[in-house]
Amino acid sequence: MRRRRLLATVGTALGATAGCAGQGQTDGQPFSVSFPGDERLPTRYTCDGAGESPLITVESVPEPVEAVAVTAEANRDAIIEPVLWTLWNVPADRREIPAGLPRTASLDSLGGARQGRSGGDAPGYAAPCPARGATQDYRFQVSALDSPLDLPGGTANDDALDAISAATVASQRFVRTYERPADAE
């Protein structure tokens, strides 16, 4: 796990431009995704807003992709990066992952997609919440998977992240910054 995080950090340092790493491809077919915000994470997706998961639009998926996954991590250092969200087994023909997904292990409304959990937390998206007055980067990655993952909903985020990484054939990464107001509660 530490090796994966170190490699991800090196990849981010080498490949991120304007908050977004390039589009992935398989056999010349693009994997294209759009993610909210420019360089800043909109407040509605943080603990100071509604704390809801973000809207993600999948514009194109290469063949033979069978599923899509989403991960979110705090971009703190090369070794320890808290995982805020893992979502996998979104059907490849879905063009939108709606905002505000419920914090449940399985999502029937999203074709049976599944979400991981952090520690004793409920499964699903854990809204970013840096200290008051602090600025933090968050790395969101949308991955095209060669096959659905055989993981139950509620799997620990770190385990889900490893399985997602192993099945990824193309991905697109977005880095968003959130500056929490000093007077936030």
pLDDT per residue rounded down to tens, the chain (185 residues): 433 444 443 343 333 333 444 445 445 557 788 887 789 999 999 999 999 999 999 988 888 899 999 999 998 766 567 899 999 999 999 999 999 999 999 999 999 999 999 877 899 999 999 999 999 999 999 999 999 999 999 999 999 999 999 999 999 999 999 999 998 55
Residue-level pLDDT at 79: 59
Q: Distance between CA atoms of 155 and 160, rounded to whole angstroms?
A: 6
CB–CB of 12/147 below 8 Å?
Answer: no
Q: Distance between CA atoms of 94 and 67, rounded to whole angstroms?
A: 9
Q: How far is CA 2 from the centre of its chain?
A: 18
**Pick from 79, 101, 82: nearest CA to 90:** 101
Residue-level pLDDT at 62: 84
Residue-level pLDDT at 7: 43
CB–CB of 178/135 below 8 Å?
Answer: yes
Q: Distance between CA atoms of 65 and 57, rounded to whole angstroms?
A: 16
Q: Distance between CA atoms of 159 and 171, rounded to whole angstroms?
A: 18
